[in-house]
Structure formats: C-alpha cells, structure tokens
A and B are shown apart, each in its own frame.
Chain A
Amino acid sequence: MRKVYVVSDNIITSLGFTAENNLAALEAGQTGIRLHEDEQMSPSPFWASLVDLNSLNDRFSAYADPDQYTRFEKLIICSIQDAIKNTSVSLTGEKTLFILSTTKGNIDLLDPKHGARFEESRLYLWNTAQLLQRFFRLHHRPWVVSNACISGVLAVIIGKRLIGSGEFDHVVVTGADLVNEFVLSGFNSFLSLCPGPCKPFDADRQGLSLGEGSGTIILSADRNLSEDHGKIIVGPGFSNNDANHISGPSRTGEGLYMTIRRTMENTGRKINFISAHGTATPFNDEMESIAITRAGLQNIPVNSFKGYWGHTLGAAGIIESVAGIGSIRHNRLFRTLGFSRSGVTHPIAVIDETKEYQTDTILKIASGFGGCNASLLFYRS
C-alpha cells in the first residue's frame, strides 16, 4: 500500500489562527481556557476556550461575506483556506476528497437566537458538506464523520485508508466544533466540567474544559506537494469499541487497549510520544493510564493538550494530531498544562516540562461517548 504524507495543516483556536501561532502558544505555556460571562451561553459564568468571533469574521471576510455563513462554517472554511496556502494540492480534482469531522456542527441554530437568520436545512451535516462542495468547487461531496470525540482521529484514519487503496490521491481532513449553550448545558448535566482550566492526569483533576476550534490535515500520496517534501507519514490506525457503557469508559480500558495494540502490531516503529485524550475527567484519565500500561507503553512520554485548548470535541483529534506532528518537526515535547502530580493508579510518564526530545514516531489516541476509541500513528519519513 502506498505511503500517505501530511502535506499541510492548520489549527484555529483561541490561541491563534495558524498551526505556527498555536505551537508558539504551547511553547509559551499559554492556555486559552478563560472564565466567560455570557447569559446567552450559560445561566452562570463558565470556563471555556473560545475563538474570538471578531477575528474570525475579519479573516473570513477575505473569502466571503461573514453574515452569510455560520460560526461553524466560518471556522471550517478559514482552516481549510489557511492549510491550502502551503500546498498545491488541487482541491477540485477528481482524485481529491474532503472529509469533515464534527460532533454537533451547526447545532446552535436550534436556538432561535442564532437560527432565525438561517434556513433549517443548515442544521443537517450533509448540508455543511454540500456547502463546502459548492464553496471550494469540489468534485465529490465531502464525507462527514460524526462519531463523538474520536471523529477527528477517525477522519484522518479514513482519509489515509482511501489514499492507500488508490481511490483518492489527496484528502483534506477538517474538524470543527463550537462551544455553545447546547454542549455547555449537556456537559454540566454530567457534572463533568472543571471549575477552572482542566488538569489532565492530575490528582486534583475535576473534569474537562470545553474548547472550540477547527483543524485541518491535508493528506496526499504525493510527497512533493508539501513544503517539507513528505517529512511526515501517516501510519496505521484503528478504532475499537469497549462494548461496556455508552458514556463511562471501560474500567479495564478494553477498547482503547485493543486499538493501541492493533496499531502497534501494524508497525515496527518504536513510539516516542503519546498524545493522550486526557480530558481530565476522573474516569477518562484513569482508563487511559490502564490502557497505556496494558499496552506496555507506561514509560513512553505522554501528554494531554487539553489544558491549552480545552476539549475541542470533533476538532480535537485533528488539532492535537497537528500539535503532535509539530513535536516531530521540531523534536519538541510539550508539557501537560494543568498537571502537577499524578492522580492515576497506573504510573505513566506524563510530560511535565516542555523540552527538546528526539521525536520520530507519535501515537495519537482518543476515546469518546458510545464506548469508541481510536489510535493513529504519525512518523518521520
């Protein structure tokens, strides 16, 4: 099967509108998670990482009229537009596919405050796919992966498989999700939101922080379409289900362990770094420590990026993969912001300082509601 390269990427979050800006913020140890007061989003103040709407609209106005597009659509389009600046992949070709990853899309349009300005069909994720097809004049209707918090990782896995088989030569994978009243209220009902920036793997962790953003990874079989001539290759990836509970992770980390094991069995490479899901809920981080240990990776440096950007849901798998790719490019590991002492029963090597480190092969893992888990390898060519 032919190799699949990462030929460009992008991150848009509260910390910046490019991958470069976001990585610089990681280097500086900045968090985008802040306390917000917005009666329209929540009856009481809430902690979250939000993309500045004015900046988003400014950027978007270079492409189209901001009033004609929803916040979600603008996040996606801006991310793609930035990513395509660094590659000459033909978007309109027959062998190019887009894959969109999102959990809730334009769900804020269910609220009449936001939805009054747009027709109801915008709520449907296939409509977003159709909008993107028209906007970028794509040959094929984009795929849409909507699979809880592993959507982003799954979307890259699928893109990689479709290029590997030869069905496509290039796949643009973009993930995006919003913070809005819909998700804030939902996670609140789960009592799973942290009263402050989240603390992944920490003994005092109290839950997750929500974040919004978008991320893009452009995959291609042609290494010459990337500025770095194909430095980053996408390795094997799989998903597995816990078959245990629809919201709580398996106590034995069954599904995550299975997917990590499958990925490891399909590569001869030694993993240098694990980008964990690390949402900072008591159960998720504990489960990950178990699965990582069962896989024999307890001594491999592992972090969570959630302390910087919060949990960006359908964008998380992509944004965090881009950050992990940054680790390979720069031989740099980023500390787990919010972590100070371990609070998981299985001691894993949580990265607590940002430092230089020979990073050739990284494992991105993710878990989500519905008992789903995914893992994916990226490595230096």
Chain B
Amino acid sequence: MQCIIIILQVMSGNYYIGDYSILRNRQVIQGGEVIFESRENKPVSFFTEVYKHFGLNYPRFYKMDNLCKLGFLCAELLLKDKQIQQLYPAGETGIILFNAASSLDTDRNHQQSISSRLDYFPSPSVFVYTLANIVIGEICIRHKIFGEGTFLIEEKFNPSRMFSYVRQLLNDDIVKCCLTGWIELDGDQIDGIMVLVEKTAPDPDRIAIFDPGILTKIYSQIS
C-alpha cells in the first residue's frame, strides 16, 4: 500500500493534487489501494461492473464507447465528493487529457460496419465516438464543466508535458483548476489515470504538490 502524504509548504507558484483515480486493466485504485477488482475479461463488462459497484446513476453511460466509459468513470470517482461546478463556476475548470491510441477502439468498430457493401450500415452513434475528445464532452456534460478542453496524443504517459502545459494554464489564469490524465484504451488494454490540479490545497491531510514526480509516482502504482 502506498500513501501519499506530503507536508504542506505554502510556496508561491505551487499547485496541488488532492486525489486521483486509476482504472487499470481490471482494477480501480484510489488513495493508494485497490478499491475494486473485477474478473471480467472484456472492458465493456468491467466498466459496467464498476458502474454498478459504485452505485452510479447515469443512463447515458450505456451509450458511451469504451474510451468514454473509461474517462467518465475516472472522472466520476475522482469528483464524487466534490461539487466541482459549485467550487469552480462556469468556465474555470479545464480538462486536458492524453492517450496513445486516440479513439482507435471505436474506429475499428466503425470500419467494421463499412467493410462490406452487402451489409453497409454505418452507425451514427458509433461514428460520433470516433473522436477522442468526445470523452471530454461527456465529462463536461456530466459535471457541467464549460472550460478549456484539449485532447493530445503521446506515445506513452508523458508526465513532463502533462505537468508543464497544465501548469502554464494555471499560471496564466486560463483555468482555475484542471482535470488532467492519461485515458488509454486499446483493445483489451485499459489504462486510465486522472487527477484534479488546484491552485489551493483541497484537504491539508491528503495533498501533494503538483509536479512531474508526483504524476509518475501516481501512474506507477502497481497493485
């Protein structure tokens, strides 16, 4: 078990992470612990189990593709005790997400639907998810977030880029807080991690200073 407790140092220019959420392969990890584990093989079944296990109530969930379910659940678990739309009114919360596969999982589904002229029925509800940034849209709808959103592609989890861009957005006051994470889904591989970065320390007992090192530490947790 890993605990992350760092003595609060009030230094100018520091930002803070209060908590994080990880959905990786078939586990949900928060606060340094595996809080849920599934034996489901397929991502879609795993996500449904997580949704039910945590007593979520959001029927739109079932319409989402796997990538959006992953991002949605990471955000849901991260923000469940926070009324983010009240803490940070319209336009102040940014969402900056990264992955490697973009929306390839759904792209393959769409391609499948057009692969034969004899059974040619492209589906609008599949096609709409052939854009990685839709996951940002789903999170915004759910949590009433109106701020800056960007989806970026990297070969692998890149804590230094994540850190430097989010820090710049906060420094320049473009956002007052920022959800950021690595939301990767490719075939059966699930690798989602999300953190909320804020200008003020949310909870003195459980915060960490936002820097590439803490991102690496959070990401590298293995159960």
Given a CB threshold of 8 Å, the question of whether A touches B is answered with yes
A239 touches B148 (CB 8 A): yes
User: A54 within 8 Å of B by Cβ?
Assistant: no
Decide: B153 and A372 in contact? CB cutoff 8 A. Answer: no
A-side interface mostly = mixed
**Roughly how many angstroms separate A80 CA and B146 CA in the complex, as a whole number?**
34
Contact B114 A185 (CB under 8 A): yes
B91 interfacial by beta-carbon distance below 8 Å: yes
| Per-residue interface assignment for chain B, residues 32 to 56, with 1 indicating a CB less than 8 Å from any chain A CB and 0 otherwise | 0000000000000000000000000
* Cα A224 to Cα B91 with chains together (Å): 37
The residues in B between 195 and 217 inclusive whose CB is less than 8 angstroms from any CB of A are none
Q: What mask results when residues 107 to 145 of chain A are scored 1 for a CB within 8 Å of chain B, else 0? A: 100110000000000011111011000000000010111
Q: Does A258 contact B146, Cβ atoms closer than 8 Å?
A: yes
A286: interface (CB < 8 Å): no
Q: Which residues of B contact A147 (CB under 8 A)?
A: 131-133, 136, 149-151
Closest A residue to B134 using CB positions: A370
Which residue on chain B has the smallest CB distance to residue A126? B155
A103 to B107 CA separation, bound complex (whole angstroms): 12
Q: Is B152 in contact with A242, judged by CB distance below 8 angstroms? A: no
B115-138 contacts to A (CB < 8 Å): 115, 117, 120, 122-124, 127-128, 130-134, 136-138
Question: Closest residue of chain B to A103, judged by CB?
Answer: B131
Docked CA distance A182–B155 (Å): 24
Let me know if B114 and A182 touch, CB within 8 A.
yes
Q: A334 to B17, alpha carbons, bound, how many Å?
A: 48
Contact of B108 among A110, A167, A187, A189 (CB under 8 A): A110
B147 at the interface (CB under 8 A from A): yes
Chain A 21-47 against B: per-residue CB contact (8 Å), 1 yes, 0 no?
000000000000000000000010000
CB B163 to nearest CB in A, in angstroms, measures 12
Q: Does A369 contact B (CB under 8 A)?
A: yes
A156 interface hit (Cβ, 8 Å): no
Contacting pair A370 B154 (CB below 8 A): no
B114's nearest neighbour on chain A, judged by CB, is A185
Instruction: Check if A161 sits within 8 Å of B172, measured CB to CB.
Output: yes
- The reply on B176 being an interface residue by CB < 8 A is no
Please name all residues of chain A whose beta carbon is closer than 8 Å to the beta carbon of B138 when the two chains form the complex. Answer: 246
Determine whether B69 belongs to the interface, using a CB cutoff of 8 Å to chain A. Answer: no
Closest Cβ of chain A to B162, distance in Å, is: 12
Report the bound CA distance from A40 to B192 in whole Å. 37
Would you give the shortest CB distance from A89 to chain B, in whole angstroms?
A: 22
Q: Which residue of A lies closest to B142 (CB)?
A: A243
Count of interface residues, chain B, beta-carbon cutoff 8 Å: 51
In the complex, A254→B146 CA distance in Å? Answer: 9
Q: How far is the CB of A40 from chain B (nearest CB, A)?
A: 11
Q: A147-B151, A238-B174 are in contact. Are A258 and B134 (CB under 8 A)?
A: no
The reply to whether the CB of B110 lies closer than 8 angstroms to some CB of chain A is yes
Of residues 96 through 122 on chain B, the ones whose CB sits less than 8 Å from some CB of chain A are 100-102, 104, 107-108, 110-111, 113-115, 117, 120, 122
Q: What 0/1 readout, one digit per residue, does chain A (341-381) give for beta carbons within 8 Å of chain B?
A: 00000000000000000000000000011111000000000
B168 at the interface (CB under 8 A from A): yes
Report chain A residues within 8 Å CB of B111.
110-111, 182
Residue of B111, B115, B150 with most chain A CB atoms under a 10 A cut-off: B150
- Which of B102, B161, B165 is the one whose CB lies under 8 Å from A125? B102
On whether the beta carbons of A145 and B134 are closer than 8 Å, the reply is no
Q: What residues of chain A lie closer than 8 Å to B110, measured between beta carbons?
A: 182, 185-186
Instruction: Please determine whether A165 and B154 come into contact, CB atoms closer than 8 angstroms.
Output: no
Smallest distance from the beta carbon of B172 to chain A beta carbons, Å?
7
A51 CB, nearest partner CB in chain B, Å: 22
In Å, the complex CA distance between A43 and B174 comes to 46
State whether B100 touches A146 (Cβ < 8 A): no
How far is the CB of A314 from the nearest CB of chain B, in Å? 10
In angstroms, Cα B146 to Cα A189, docked, is 28
CA distance A238 to B172 in the complex (A): 12
A241 within 8 A of B: yes
Decide yes or no whether A104 CB sits under 8 A from chain B: yes
B100, B102, B108, B128 — which one has the most chain A CB atoms within 10 A of its CB? Answer: B102
A161 engages B168 (CB within 8 Å):
yes
Residues on A lying within 8 angstroms of B by beta carbon are 43, 103-105, 107, 110-111, 123-127, 129-130, 141, 143-148, 154, 158, 161-162, 165, 167, 181-182, 185-190, 238-247, 254-255, 258, 262, 368-372
Listed in ascending order, the chain B residues whose CB lies under 8 Å from chain A are 90-91, 95, 100-102, 104, 107-108, 110-111, 113-115, 117, 120, 122-124, 127-128, 130-134, 136-138, 140-141, 143-155, 161, 164-165, 168, 171-172, 174
A-B residue pairs in contact (CB < 8 Å), sample of 11: A43-B120, A111-B111, A124-B153, A124-B155, A143-B161, A144-B153, A146-B131, A187-B127, A242-B146, A370-B137, A371-B141
Other A-B contacts than A127-B155, A146-B153, A190-B124, 17 sampled, CB-CB below 8 A, are A43-B120, A104-B130, A110-B108, A124-B101, A126-B154, A144-B154, A145-B152, A146-B133, A147-B133, A148-B131, A162-B168, A188-B122, A241-B95, A241-B149, A245-B141, A370-B131, A372-B137
